[in-house]
Amino acid sequence: MEAPFVPQPPVTVRVFVQRFSSTPRGARLARQLALHQLNDWGVPYGADASETAALIVAELAANAVTHGRVPGRDFELRIVHASGDGSMPVLRIEVTDTRGERRPPGPGELVAPPPGSGSGHGLILVEALADRWAVLDRLQPGKTVRAELDLLY
């Protein structure tokens, strides 16, 4: 017996992947290119989703440069925009570095830094802004920090 054909709504998945030098300049460039790419995909500059994504990219890229840097190795930014199957559009932001031995705490494991400290707030900000996030191990040395935003527009 053959199942009846049920048309499925089309799914659009857009992917941006770029490697950047593990420097403050590389982190700034990652944020700028992410904003440009989102605008090209219809998430306009200045929109709440664009601003939230920019903050997340900035924090994850800064962490990759500060804590995940291995001399001579780049970090990678991957942005995935998926929409169209009837579910809510999702923006996935992933930053991958090559330092495996300095794995950050994951969701539910974060501890607020002491008052007056100048650092340690980045992942707390990511946790507050993202709808979901995780720290993923890689087969090669390193890790990926992934944050997802449900796009409401």
Tell me the pLDDT tens digit for each residue of 107-124.
777 677 777 766 667 888
pLDDT at 6 over 90: no
Cβ proximity of 122 and 59 under 8 Å: yes
In DSSP terms, which residues pair with 16 in a beta bridge? 79
Integer Cα distance of 92 and 30 in angstroms: 15
Q: Helices in 2-149 by DSSP H: which ranges?
A: 24-40, 48-66, 122-129
Q: Provide the pLDDT for residue 55.
A: 97
Question: Angle formed by the axes of helices 48-66 and 122-129, to 10°?
Answer: 150
Average pLDDT, the chain: 87
Averaged pLDDT for residues 46-74:
90
Give CATH superfamily name and number for 22-106+120-150. Answer: Histidine kinase-like ATPase, C-terminal domain (3.30.565.10)
What separation in angstroms does the CA of 57 have from each of 36, 45, 81, 86, 96? Answer: 13, 14, 14, 27, 11
The pLDDT score that the predictor gives to residue 38 is 96
**88 — pLDDT class (breaks 50, 70, 90):** confident
Domain ranges of the chain: 22-106+120-150
Q: How confident is the model over 26-52, as a mean pLDDT?
A: 96
Of 39-53, 60-74, 110-124, highest mean pLDDT: 39-53
